[in-house]
Amino acid sequence: MNIVVCVKQIPDPETPAASFKVDEVAKKVIPAQGIAPVVNPYDPQATEAALRLKEAAGSGKVTVISLGPESARDAIKHALAMGADEGVLITGPEFEDIDNFQTAKALAAAIQKLGGADLVLTGRAAADWDMGVVPLGIAQLLGIPCVTVAKAIEKNGAGLKVERVLEDGFQTVETPLPAVVSVSNEFGEPRYPQLRQIMLAAKKTVQVWGANDLGIAGEMGKENRALILEALYVPKVESNVEIIEGDTPEEKARNLAQKLRAAKLI
Amino acid sequence: MAGILVIAEANEGALAPISGELLGAARKLAGEGAGSVTAFIAGGEALGNELIAHGADAAIVDTNPALQGALAEVYIPAVQAALQQSGADIVLMGQTALGRDLGPMLAFALGTAVSMETVDLKYSGGKLIATRACYGGNARAEVSFKNPPAIATVKAKSFDALPADASRSGSVTTIDVAGEARVRVLGVQKAESTGIRLEDAPVVVSGGRGLGDPSGFKMLEELAALLKGATGASRAACDLGWYPPSQQVGLTGKVVSPNLYIAVAISGASQHMAGMAGSKNIVAINKDPDANMVRAAKYAVIDDYKKVVPALIEEIKKLG
């Protein structure tokens, strides 16, 4: 099975709120000093799913694609170190500040340039914009079905059997291939790259494609966004905290318990 | 033509709460000049009158049985038919298992865009502006749409439903449209309900990296048991192997909204806040008065949890 995994590099979601700053004029997040961007936390699960399917089949190829700045190479390397076979970095000025529809177009074009895929896997959403739109977009553009928020995936004849997370449980569905599947954090722990794997990953091929290579230069660029960003800001949190006083930790604890009881919270 | 199309949902024959909330949002936009409100629903014809009573000016009921329990792809031609019939240039739906797929699918099918998990909407200067949280709740984005129809999925409890008014009138039409199902649903499994699920617990006591070592969780479990609640942990604590990942609260863990959330030695990184910011009452126990969690809390104790938590347990036992 030929599997493509889409991964994204994002600002670290563990960034303390105090270090999180936005340039409201440029409508961009100002990178926090000394905090390196990370692989979107949902994406290693997608890579893990791809590797397990390949291992179960005993053959196949896992190609990892990332759209982003040159630094997104690190997100690709992480997947290669986990065991993916090859990488593709989609990069260039045309991709700056594009929306998720343009992202889906670029990824779909790259998948087509690779000669298509039997299965495209993504994380359930990127933890920066948190939309979950791109996997459905890739599927629509490639004319194939999409199953979102998968917690288990297995080969089932010519297709896949997928457990899809709902608000109050899960649903088991069957999809033909090719298909796009977005993977939930409930899928299970992704493997941790071992030193040997990291060394091997350094020798794996990462192709670099620009908008012209994909024939989509005219559709990229901020001016072609379908979703227009009107404003980006940090909401002012009115802190109404009541600090519980007391001379000792024990007295503070007693005062807290009484407050909670008075407020009928315990 | 202008107007708003609401994609309502039903549960076992009755309107789902999100349907009323969506109609509440649509009426607000209608009041701001966005046009009339048409509601679409799959199910029995009687649902049409309920939609009218809850604020729709017209209802379109799709009686095709293939839509029951179906995935979003089956809804696409039905919603497109409703869109054509209503002439709406705004489509609202819930951020539900259906809406989270239907919104993007519809947007791509129509060549437009979608705002996901929208928390606020306004109609201003002839356009829809949707507000949504991003960057793990650290930022808000306001978005508008280049092409019609503007599509938004709305987060639960973001708008108030209007009280049902049986004297309201409007046209109810039925259609019979459904798309092809490429993906087949084999079965649905409700979540198991052994013990208190973290997501359902009225009280959650969580610990973070600031506990210093895994033994701190023993104390938190005792407090949680006393309050008939569940114990959670931050990602940092789970990554250190101090607590099982199944109990992780946060962006990549469980999302909880208990009546009482007690955060012990948790600084409040956005990753964690994204999983518990909906809690009704937050208590922070932390050494650092400037911790983000302290700012977000209703009550905070600034001290060493190792002394505070045992004393809190004793006092709660005394209060009975």
What's B102's domain CATH number?
A: 3.40.50.620
Tell whether A234 is within 8 A of chain B (Cβ). yes
Q: What distance in Å separates the CA atoms of residue A131 and residue A44, rounded to the nearest whole number? A: 18
Band (pLDDT 50/70/90 cuts) for residue B192 is low
Which H helix or E strand runs over A203?
none
Residues B60, B166, single domain; the answer is yes
Inter-chain contact A145–B188, Cβ cutoff 8 Å? no
Q: Taking CA A46 as the corner, what is the angle to CA A142 and CA A102, rounded to the nearest 5 degrees?
A: 40
Inter-chain contact B141–A250, Cβ cutoff 8 Å? no
Say which residues have a Cβ less than 8 Å from residue A236's Cβ, sequence separation at least 6: none
Q: What is the mean predicted confidence (pLDDT) over B270-277?
A: 86
Q: What distance in Å separates the CA atoms of residue A80 and residue A199, rounded to the nearest whole number? A: 10
B194, two tokens: 């052994």
- Please indicate, yes or no, if residue B102 is contained in any of the structural domains: yes
A217, two tokens: 């230069």
Inter-chain contact A252–B303, Cβ cutoff 8 Å? yes
The mean pLDDT of chain B is 94
- Please indicate, yes or no, if residue B180 is contained in any of the structural domains: no
Inter-chain contact B113–A226, Cβ cutoff 8 Å? yes
Residues B209, B300, single domain; the answer is yes
Residues B269, B207, single domain; the answer is yes
Mutate which: B222, B226, B308, vs A, most A CBs within 10 A:
B308
**Closest residue to B189, CB basis, from A170, A189, A260:** A170
Q: What is the mean predicted confidence (pLDDT) over B123-138?
A: 91
B158, B175, B192 - which closes a domain:
B175
CB of B116 within 8 A of CB of B134?
Answer: no
- Please indicate, yes or no, if residue B186 is contained in any of the structural domains: no
- What pLDDT is attached to residue B12? 87
Quote the domain boundaries for residue B274.
203-319
Beta strands in B95-202 (DSSP E): 114-124, 127-134, 139-145, 150-154, 171-175, 184-190
pLDDT at B194 over 50: no
Inter-chain contact B108–A174, Cβ cutoff 8 Å? no
Say which residues have a Cβ less than 8 Å from residue B171's Cβ, sequence separation at least 6: B58, B59
Residues B218, B163, single domain; the answer is no
- Please indicate, yes or no, if residue B258 is contained in any of the structural domains: yes
pLDDT at A87 over 50: yes
CB pairs under 8 A between A and B: 249
- What pLDDT is attached to residue B200? 83
Inter-chain contact A171–B189, Cβ cutoff 8 Å? yes
Inter-chain contact B143–A239, Cβ cutoff 8 Å? no
CB of B256 within 8 A of CB of B197?
Answer: no
Inter-chain contact B71–A173, Cβ cutoff 8 Å? yes
Residues B43, B83, single domain; the answer is yes
pTM metric for this prediction: 0.88
Residues B150, B18, single domain; the answer is yes
Tell whether A122 is within 8 A of chain B (Cβ). no
Q: For residue A143, count CB atoms less than 10 angstroms from its CB and return exposed for 0-12, middle for 13-18, buried for 19 or more.
A: exposed
Question: Into how many domains does chain B fold?
Answer: 2
Tell whether A188 is within 8 A of chain B (Cβ). no
- Residue A86 backbone zone (phi > 0: left; psi -120 to 50: alpha; other: beta): beta
Over residues B59-108, the pLDDT tens digits come to: 999 999 999 999 999 999 999 999 999 999 999 999 999 999 999 999 99
Which of A127, A130, A122, A116 shows the shortest CA–CA distance to A147?
Answer: A122
Query: What is the dihedral angle through the alpha carbons of B141, A137, B177, B182, rounded to the nearest 10 degrees?
Result: -140
Q: What is the mean predicted confidence (pLDDT) over B121-147?
A: 93
Tell whether A243 is within 8 A of chain B (Cβ). yes
- Please indicate, yes or no, if residue B184 is contained in any of the structural domains: no
Residues B163, B214, single domain; the answer is no
CB of B7 within 8 A of CB of B100?
Answer: no
B155, B175, B195 - which closes a domain:
B175
* Percent residues over pLDDT 70 in chain A: 100
Residues B155, B267, single domain; the answer is no
Tell whether A230 is within 8 A of chain B (Cβ). yes
Q: What distance in Å separates the CA atoms of residue A165 and residue A148, rounded to the nearest whole number? A: 8
Inter-chain contact B139–A147, Cβ cutoff 8 Å? no
B80, two tokens: 């497109």
Residues B79, B10, single domain; the answer is yes
Band (pLDDT 50/70/90 cuts) for residue B195 is low
The DSSP symbol for B247 reads G
ipTM surpasses 0.90: yes
CB atoms within 10 A of CB A241: 18
CB < 8 Å to A172, chain B? 185-189
Residues B212, B311, single domain; the answer is yes
Q: What is the mean predicted confidence (pLDDT) over A68-97?
A: 97
Q: What distance in Å separates the CA atoms of residue A122 and residue A147, rounded to the nearest whole number? A: 11
Query: What is the dihedral angle through the alpha carbons of B140, B145, B149, B155, rounded to the nearest 10 degrees?
Result: 0
Q: Which residue in chain A has the smallest CA separation from B255?
A: A167
Query: What is the dihedral angle through the alpha carbons of B57, B44, B77, B122, rounded to the nearest 10 degrees?
Result: 30
Residues B33, B135, single domain; the answer is yes
- Please indicate, yes or no, if residue B198 is contained in any of the structural domains: no
CB of A52 within 8 A of CB of A82?
Answer: no
Given the structure tokens 């079965």, which residue do they identify?
Answer: B187
Inter-chain contact A176–B182, Cβ cutoff 8 Å? yes
Return the amino acid letter for B7: I
Q: What is the CATH number of the domain that holds B306?
A: 3.40.50.1220
- Please indicate, yes or no, if residue B189 is contained in any of the structural domains: no
Residues 43-72 on A with a CB inside 8 Å of B are none
Whether cis (ω within 30° of 0) applies to the bond prior to A178 is yes
- Please indicate, yes or no, if residue B232 is contained in any of the structural domains: yes
Q: What is the mean predicted confidence (pLDDT) over A151-156?
A: 96
The DSSP symbol for B248 reads B
Residues B47, B163, single domain; the answer is yes
- What pLDDT is attached to residue B244? 85
